[in-house]
Chains A and B, each alone.
Chain A
Amino acid sequence: DAKTTQPPSMDCAEGRAANLPCNHSTISGNEYVYWYRQIHSQGPQYIIHGLKNNETNEMASLIITEDRKSSTLILPHATLRDTAVYYCIVRSRNSGNTPLVFGKGTRLSVIA
């Protein structure tokens, strides 16, 4: 799986959009970008994934650059409950049921 690089921490004002970047310059053609988050004292939680098109669900939006070397997770209206560590993971969808490899992620602090 390709390696990812994320900033260690970010702050965001409550109600504003939180934009979390991820670099994955060595991503290959069959690899997807996945985002998970871990709220304090809880297990990681799946957020969203994408291949090359922008994706949106009830939790977030994922913007992947045209060259696919980076992406941004967007929480459109961050709340205090969005304070968590966010992990960007690149892996092949053909990985099947294989383990996730977590980096250090970005610690997002949403501030009132």
Chain B
Amino acid sequence: DAGVIQSPRHEVTEMGQEVTLRCKPISGHNSLFWYRQTMMRGLELLIYFNNNVPIDDSGMPEDRFSAKMPNASFSTLKIQPSEPRDSAVYFCASSPQAHTDTQYFGPGTRLTVL
């Protein structure tokens, strides 16, 4: 199994540009999570999906952030317009059926907004 796949691994953009981060969860997993990690705030949840349906997006900073999961094998996190304070590492994680113990994290996307 290839594990959770994220792309791009690194993204450098200028303030005001649109940024799209992509995630492919492990096949057969029915939950997908987007986390963000910064030095100041640590690891924090942005949004998560169960069976492709968004369950909790209370961690999404503001309207500039949006996430979609059009099917079980793909999710996107979009920032439009991007700002320097969005610079962080964004992780995607997936987990299988309910009552499981483990979330599997991708390698992350390091975003730098200049």
Q: Report which A residues bind B (CB closer than 8 A).
A: 32, 34, 38, 41-46, 49, 93-94, 96-104
Contacts and interface: CB of A to CB of B under 8 A. Distances in A.
Given A45-B105, A97-B30, A97-B50, A102 B42 contact: yes
B56 interface: yes
Contacts of B4: 43
8 contacts: A44-B43, A96-B99, A97-B50, A97-B98, A99-B33, A100-B103, A103-B42, A104-B42
B63 interface: no
Given A99-B48, A102-B43, A43 B101 contact: no
Interface of B is mostly: strand
Contact of B107 (A43, A94, A98): A43
Interface of A is mostly: loop
Contacts, number: 53
A42 B108 contact: yes
B107 A97 contact: no
Contacts of B105: 42-45
B100 interface: yes
A100 B25 CA distance: 17
Contacts of B106: 43
Contacts of B44: 102
B93 interface: yes
Contacts of A46: 101-104
A99 to B, nearest CB: 4
Contacts of A100: 33, 45, 103
